[in-house]
Chains A and B, each alone.
Chain A
Amino acid sequence: MARRVALTGNYAIAYAVKLAKPDVIAAYPITPQSPIVEKLAEMIESGELKASIIRVESEHSALAACFGAAVAGARVFTATSSQGLLYMHEVVHWASRARIPMVMAVVSRTINTPWNIWPDHSDFVDQRDAGWIMAYAMDNQEALDLTLQAFKISEEPSVYLPVMVGIEGFVLSHTAMPVEIPEEKLVEEWLGERTQPYVVDGLEPKGLGPLTPPEDTEDMFYGIQLAMENSKKVIKSVDSEYGKLFGREYGGLISCYYCSDAKYVAIAMGSWTGDLIEAVNTLREEGYPVGVIRVRFYRPFPREDLWEVLRGIKGVFVFDRAISFGAWGPIFTDLVAGLVQYTSKLPTIVNIVAGIAGVHVTAEDFRDMLLSLINRVEIGLEHGYFDWIRVRR
């Protein structure tokens, strides 16, 4: 029986992992991720979850141990944040380039210096070149659903790439919301046993990752790009399949709100999209034709789906919760690069970076920002621009 429980984002992910029945979990504590691993350890030690937990001595070793277990045929899981994710960055690349399916949760927290444990997307987007499929949740229910779907997507033979699922630290990870936990038997039938492209378990001699000449290596990496393209189809079909089985469908790579008759569209990723939607609700009541696109999957970047919605739009406002120093926000960058492949006449695209290092951006703040952006476009602004708005009380 599916159960409806009040769960924090961390626990929602832990319960999703329990349903996926991993064989090996290796993780290292870091705020705000620690409760995920604590919950999993409790489940394992009490016998609820039959898995092996390796309490490793660093995040680099956490992903390395998961990598080893996955290569040897186990379904694995780990979670981390911020500095921990950066510490394991080498292994993040190692895993995707080995084409080994695995799932990792990233509980987002900004990056030092200085010490700061509050959320933005910088740790998550910092991994964007590595070849992992990257999804970001808006609420705890989606965190659970995305984590479960991650196992399915990752082990699909036309994909075979690891998947990371992000949630904001504290905002989601430590806040309880009503979450429906799907029925175990149903998940087991749907997910099935683990599938992977090869296994190194000593039964047949082979080697993984030898010294490889340039041309062959390039072929291998090209395969990752192809897999990313394939994964778009898979993500959509898993989303709709999940909707039929468990009652929740999210729209695929992106979610659209009020987009069908919108003249202006705001784009965002993560939980602050909820505040953005609240702002757009009030603007709609006042007659402004604004819509919202929520980016669910950041990699593969959903340029086709975005183009479908944005092709007739007058003004596009991209809210980024991360910055590439010396340039601009990552979603804005990828969006412009994606759209430029369809048209030479881009709509007016504005990039607002905000909410960095955990600064709280409310629905009122979004409303004010959107009003001023809409007015600028209405009075004749034709080309895009970048601004970092530091919201202060």
Chain B
Amino acid sequence: MVKIREPENNVKLPLSRPIIGVAGKTGMWRTMRPIVNSEKCTACFQCEVYCPVNVIRVEPKLGVTIDYDYCKGCGICEDICPRGAIVMVPETGE
């Protein structure tokens, strides 16, 4: 019912494709960094559900991992963790 044919002559079209880090390495935005205390963590998944940049992963065997390349350091994970297992510390840039 509809045929898709690219325009002739290499025309640039206003189309975008999915990409991680479209605004760059947003980890550079951080002034504070979340640190997870695996002793206190019960893997309740709240941090993964709420993280606005979707960089927290809770895996049953491995616990909580955070992709620091993109974590903006907003601190929501610290604020909502029911066990206080995440703490924001100053970002030193290491």
Is A219 interfacial (CB-CB < 8 Å)? yes
Q: Is the CB of B2 within 8 A of A196?
A: yes
Is B39 interfacial (CB-CB < 8 Å)? no
Q: Is the CB of B17 within 8 A of A157?
A: no
Complex Cα spacing A219 to B7, Å = 14
Contact of B6 among A197, A205, A207, A219 (CB under 8 A): A197
Contact of A99 among B1, B4, B5, B13 (CB under 8 A): B13
Query: A157-B8, A160-B7, A227-B11 in contact; A73/B16 too (CB < 8 A)?
Result: no
Residues of chain A touching chain B, judged by Cβ–Cβ distance below 8 Å, are 23, 73-75, 97-99, 157-158, 160, 193-199, 205-210, 212, 216, 219-220, 223, 226-227, 230
Interface of A is mostly: loop
Q: Is the CB of B2 within 8 A of A193?
A: yes
Residues of B within 8 A of A23 (CB): 1
Interface centre among B3, B11, B16 (most CB of A within 10 A): B11
Distance in Å: Cβ of B54 to nearest Cβ of chain A: 16
Q: Is the CB of B17 within 8 A of A205?
A: yes
Is B15 interfacial (CB-CB < 8 Å)? yes
Query: A157-B8, A158-B9, A226-B9 in contact; A97/B14 too (CB < 8 A)?
Result: yes
Residues of B within 8 A of A212 (CB): 14
Complex Cα spacing A230 to B10, Å = 13
Complex Cα spacing A199 to B6, Å = 11
Q: Is the CB of B11 within 8 A of A226?
A: yes
Interface of B is mostly: loop
Nearest CB in chain A to that of B12: its residue: A219
Q: Is the CB of B17 within 8 A of A206?
A: yes
Residues of A within 8 A of B14 (CB): 97-99, 208-210, 212, 220
Interface centre among A198, A209, A216 (most CB of B within 10 A): A198
The 16 sampled A-B contact pairs (Cβ below 8 Å) are: A99-B7, A99-B11, A157-B7, A193-B1, A196-B2, A196-B5, A198-B4, A198-B15, A199-B2, A207-B17, A208-B14, A210-B16, A219-B12, A220-B11, A223-B7, A227-B11
In B58-74, the 8 Å CB interface with A consists of: none
Is B18 interfacial (CB-CB < 8 Å)? yes
Residues of B within 8 A of A74 (CB): 2
Q: Is the CB of A158 within 8 A of B8?
A: yes
In B10-36, the 8 Å CB interface with A consists of: 11-18
Residues of A within 8 A of B1 (CB): 23, 73, 193-194
Complex Cα spacing A74 to B2, Å = 7
Query: A193-B3, A195-B3 in contact; A205/B8 too (CB < 8 A)?
Result: no
Query: A99-B7, A158-B8, A158-B9 in contact; A208/B2 too (CB < 8 A)?
Result: no
